[in-house]
Structure 1
C-alpha cells in the first residue's frame, strides 16, 4: 500500500510541478480547522487548473487506489476535508473563473473555486444576485457538495433548489454532465440532485450552473425580543401559516444575544430574539411587514426595531453572521464547535428548549441560533478537546439533539452535512435506505477513493 502511495505521488509531482505541495504546513492548512474533530492530514495537495487535470488526478489515484479529498474554501464543520486514509487533497482555488452570466435566463456558470461573495460582486451591475448565504465566504463547489443553505433559505431554498446543472469527474476520471439550463426536466434520473449534497464521495464537481434572482427593490429588517423561546417560535409559526414572504427569520437565544452584544458592540435586549427581513416591491413589503408586526404583538414581542437603511441592515446581519465567533469569544479557553438539526416547526420550541436543558445538565457552555423559518437550528458549544470528559459530554449532547430531531420527523443535519461526525446517526435516520446509498457509492466509486470516511458508516 505504501508503495502505491509513493508511486502515485511521484506521478502527480511530475505532472503538477510547483502545483504539487507536500510540506506539513500546506497539508495542515487543508484539514479541518473549525471543529474539534482530530485533524487528519493528506499526503500532498495538488492545484488543478481545469477539468482535464482533475480527470487526470482521479485516473492516476484510481489506478493506485489512493484517496482524493476535494477542497474548496475549508469552511465546512463536520470534518469533510479531513484525510483519514491520507491521500491527495485536490484544491480548487485555481479553478475560480466565472464562465458565463446570462441575465435573461437568470443563470450563471461558474467553476467550483468561485466564492459566493465574488459571484455577487460580479453580478452587482446586472441587478441580480445569488442568494444562498451560509455565512462563511464558502466556495460554490463546497456549497454544492454539502447542500448548503443559510439565512435566506426560508425564501430562496437551499443549494438543492438553486443548482440547475453540473459538470463532474467520476472516480475513474470519466467526465459527465448532469441537468440542463431549462427550468425543468423529466428526462431520466435526477443525477444533479444526487450529486448535490454528496460531500465529495461520488464525484469531483468542476462546473456549476446556478440560478440567479433579482435584487429586491426595498428591504425592511429588524429585531424583536420575546419573553420566552416558545413565544418567539409561536411568532414564527404564525408567520409561516399566514404565508408571509419573509426573506430571513433567525432566532438567537439569550446567551447568544449577550455574546453578540459584546462581540459586535450592540445594545440589544438580552432575551430570546428574532432577526427578520422582508424584501421585494416597496408597497408589498410595507403591507407584509404591517401584518408581521401584528403577529409579533400577538406573540408578546417587545423592543421591536425595524430599519430600511442599508448600513443599519448590513450591521445587523453582520452581527448575526458573526454569531459563531461571538460565541467562541464568550467562552475563553474553549474550542468552538457547532452542530445543527432541522425539525418541523411545530416541534421547534420543544427541540430548542431540550437542547438548552442538555447544555445545563451536562455543564457545557453554549448558545443557540437558528434559521427558524424552516425549522433549522444550531447549537454552539465550547469544550477543551484535550479533556476526555468534556469531549464525551459533547458527543452525548450531539447524539441527544440528533435523536430527538429524528424522533419528531426531522433530520440530524439541515445544512452542515454528515461528514465524519454524523455517519452513525445517518443510519439511525435513514435505516435501510443507507443500503441504497452504499450501492450507489459502490457503483460510482468501487475502490472507495472519493473522500473516504465520510457520509456512510464504517460498516458500509
Structure 2
C-alpha cells in the first residue's frame, strides 16, 4: 500500500483541478519516475505532474509551498547520481512536455528553448542553419537537466561546459515567483550572476523553465582517430603534451583496458584490450589534416600504436556512439550486478597519478572497474559493478569511492567534475568546500525556506558539518 507524504495528499487535491489527467498517481507512472540508471534504490513519488507552461509550474510551486509538499524536477532522468529521485516523496515535476524550441537567432548564434528539449532535438532543428549546440554528455539528456547539473561531456575541452554555453534562464522560485537571469547579450556587469548560481543547483534553488543558449558553427570538416598505448600513464602524458602544444582538439578521451573489454563484450568490437585514446578535430579540411598529422607525430613520441584515422562522418559517429555506450558496456562485465558510476576531476598535470591510483585501488579491493575520461580537462569516470544486496561488496565499494574522492581533493581537484552531487557526493561536500557549505545553506534557506525543492540533495544535513 502506498505511503503518502503527509503534505502530498492536500497538494494533490489542490493540483488535480488544474492539471486533470496530467497529474498521475498510478503505480506504473510513479515507478517510472522513481527509478534510475545507477544503483540507487527506487524512490517513487506520490504523484507525477506534467506542466506545459511556466505559469503552470508557478501555480504548482505555490500550492506545494503552501502545503509543505516536496517537489523534485525531472527531465530525461539520465543523471547518474540520483538527482531526480524523490527520496522524500511528494511531487515529481516532469518537464517532458515543456519541449519546444522557442526561437533561433542565427545572426546572434543563440537559441531559446524550453527545459524539456533534448540536445539531439535541438541539433536536429539547427541542422539547416549551419549552427550546433556542442555540449555532449553522451545521453540524450534534456537541456534543462543539463543546466541544472552543470553537465559537460566529450566536447568540453574545446567548447566548454553548460556553464559556458548558457546566456540566460527563466526560473520559477519555490514561492512561485518567476525570475529571468541574464540576457541574450554576450556579457554583462549588471548585478549578481544568478544564471551561474542556478546552473548546477540541481533543482534545489528553483525550477528552470526556459534557457537561452549559445550556439556554435558546425565544423566544415571532422577527423577522428583511435590509438593505443602501453600504459595509462603514457596515454595521459600524451594528452598533457597535446593540450600544452596548443592543438585545437575537439574531443580527447581516455579508455582503460577494462573499458575496452566492456566494449568488446557489449558491442562485439575487436579493439585490443589496452589503454586507448579517442580523439577528434574540427575545422577546415586543411586545418583538420594539419592537426591530425601533428597529433600523430606527437602521439608516436609517447608510444602510440595502431592509429586509425577517419574523416568519414558515418565512421566518426559510430566511434562516438561506442564511446557514449560506456555505461552499458560496463554492464557487460560481471552480468547480474549494477553499475555505480562516479567521477572526479583533477589538474591535468596530476591526471596520470589520479587514474593509476584508481586502477590500483580497484584491484586492491577486488572490484570490477572501468575508466573513461574527458582527459583534456582532467575529468575521468569510474564504472564499478556491484551487487547492492551484498553488504561486504558494498562496503568495499564505499571504501573505493571515499578514497577516490579523498585523493582527488589531495591532488587539488574536485569530487565531481561532471556528474554533480545528487545523492552520491553529499558526504564529500564539507571536505571540499569547508565553511562555504554554510553559505550554500544560507542561499538555500533564502530562496527555499520551507525546503520543498529536491530535499535531501546537494547539501549535507546541518549536523554533518
- 1:308 corresponds in structure 2 to 311
SS at match of 1:84: coil
Aligned partner of 2:423 in structure 1 is: 420
State the aligned residue count: 460
Matches of 1:310 and 1:35, distance apart in 2: 32
Deviating more after overlay: 26-35 vs 317-326: 26-35
C-alpha distance in 2 between matches for 1:316 and 1:2: 46
Matches of 1:69 and 1:422, distance apart in 2: 18
The partner residue of 2:374 within 357, 371, 385 is: 371
Partner of 1:252: 255
SS in 2 for 1:113: coil
Find the partner of 2:46 among 38, 43, 48.
Answer: 43
Match of 1:19 in 2: 22
Q: Which residue of 2 aligns with 1:458?
A: 461
Q: Structure 2 vs 1, CA of residues 24 and 301 (structure 1 numbering), >3 Å: closer, same or farther?
A: same
* In the alignment, structure 1 residue 105 sits paired with structure 2 residue 108: yes
Q: Distance in 1 between matches of 2:217 and 2:167?
A: 17
Is the 1:225–1:302 contact (alpha carbons within 8 Å) kept by the matching residues of 2? yes
Alpha-carbon distance, 1:265 to partner: 2.5
Instruction: Determine the structure 2 residue equivalent to 1:64.
Output: 67
Aligned twin of 1:438:
441
Q: Work out the CA distance in 2 between the residues paired with 1:154 and 1:248.
A: 6
Q: Is the 8 A contact 2:168 2:212 kept in 1?
A: yes
Q: Does 1:193 align with 2:187?
A: no
Q: Secondary structure of the equivalent of 2:351? A: helix
Out of 177, 180, 183, the position equivalent to 1:177 is 180
Give unpaired runs (5+ residues) of structure 2: none
Match runs of 1:37-436 below 5 Å: 37-436=40-439
**What do you get for the CA RMSD once the two structures are aligned?**
1.1
Displacement after TM superposition at 1:389 (Å): 1.1
Tell me if the contact between 1:251 and 1:274 (Cα under 8 Å) persists in the aligned partners: yes
Evaluate the alpha carbon distance shift between residue 454 and residue 3 of structure 1 in structure 2; reply closer, same or farther with a 3 A threshold. Answer: closer
Distance 1:170 1:28 in 2: 27
Which runs of no fewer than 5 residues in structure 1 stay unpaired? Answer: none
For the residue of structure 2 that corresponds to 1:287, the secondary structure is helix
Q: CA deviation at 1:104?
A: 0.5
Paired with 2:119 and 2:326, the residues of 1 have a C-alpha distance of 19
Larger mean CA deviation between 164-173 and 26-35 belongs to 26-35
- Give secondary structure in 1 for the equivalent of 2:439: helix
Task: Verify the 8 A CA contact 2:5 2:46 in the aligned structure 1.
Answer: no
The alpha-carbon deviation at position 114 of structure 1 amounts to 0.4
SS class of match (1:104)? coil
Q: Distance in 2 between matches of 1:386 and 1:25?
A: 24
C-alpha distance in structure 2 between counterparts of 1:297 and 1:283, whole Å = 21
TM-score, structure 2 normalization: 0.97
- Following the alignment from structure 1 to structure 2, what is the Cα–Cα distance between the partners of residues 13 and 105? 42
- Normalization by structure 1: what TM-score? 0.98
Q: Return the offset for 1:3.
A: 5.2
